[in-house]
A and B are shown apart, each in its own frame.
Chain A
Amino acid sequence: MDIKAYIQSGIIESYVLGLTSAEESAEVESLQLQFPEVWEAISEFSQLLENKAFENAITPPENVKAKIMAAIKDEKSQAPVITLASDTHKHVSANVFNLWRMVAAASVILFMVSAALNFYLYNRYSQKNEAYQALLTERNTLQANNQIFQTHLSEWQKAAEVMTDPAMAVIKMPGTPGKENHLATVYWNTKNKDVYVMPNRLPQPVKGKQFQLWALVDGKPVDAGVLDPACEGVCKMKNIPKAQAFAITLEKAGGSPTPTMEQMYVLGKV
Chain B
Amino acid sequence: MVLLKQRQEFAFSYLYDHYSASLFSVIVSIVPDKELSNDILQEVFVKIWRQIETYDAAKGKLFTWMLNVARNTSIDAVRSKNYQQSQQNRELTETVYGAGGSTHTNTDNIGLRKIVHKLKEEYRVLVELSYFQGFTQDEISRMLEIPLGTVKTRMRTALIQLKQVIKP
Contacts and interface: CB of A to CB of B under 8 A. Distances in A.
Contact of A77 (B11, B15, B49): B49
26 contacts: A10-B159, A10-B160, A13-B163, A14-B159, A17-B159, A32-B59, A46-B64, A49-B67, A49-B166, A50-B63, A52-B111, A52-B115, A56-B112, A59-B24, A60-B20, A60-B24, A64-B41, A64-B42, A69-B12, A72-B12, A73-B9, A78-B4, A81-B12, A81-B15, A86-B4, A87-B53
Contacts of B42: 64, 67-68, 71
Q: How many B residues touch the partner, as a band?
A: 35 or more
B90 interface: no
Contacts of B72: 18
A14 B155 contact: yes
A242 to B, nearest CB: 122
B50 interface: yes
Contacts of B24: 57-60
Contacts of A52: 111-112, 115, 166
Interface in A24-78: 29, 32-33, 42-43, 45-54, 56-61, 64-65, 67-69, 71-73, 75, 77-78
A116 interface: no
Q: How many A residues touch the partner, as a band?
A: 35 or more
B52 interface: yes
Interface in B71-94: 71-72
Given A68-B45, A72-B12, A16 B64 contact: yes
A58 B28 contact: yes
Dominant secondary structure of chain B at its interface with chain A: helix
A29 B58 CA distance: 9
Interface string A76-116: 01111110101100100000000000000000000000000
Nearest to A56: B111
B61 A50 contact: yes
A18 B68 CA distance: 6
B98 to A, nearest CB: 26
A52 B158 CA distance: 17
Given A58-B28, A81-B49, A48 B11 contact: no
B21 interface: yes
A172 to B, nearest CB: 114
A261 interface: no
A19 interface: yes
B142 interface: no
Interface in A210-257: none
Contacts of A73: 9
Nearest to A52: B166
Interface string B124-168: 000000110000010000000000000000011111101100111
A105 to B, nearest CB: 24
Contacts of A87: 53
Interface in B18-76: 20-26, 28, 38, 41-42, 45-46, 48-53, 58-61, 63-64, 67-68, 71-72
A11 interface: yes
B110 interface: yes
B61 A78 contact: no
A46 B163 contact: no
B106 interface: no
Given A17-B131, A52-B166, A65-B16, A57 B8 contact: no
CB-based closest 5 A-B pairs:
A10-B156, A56-B111, A57-B21, A13-B159, A53-B22
Contacts of A49: 63-64, 67, 166
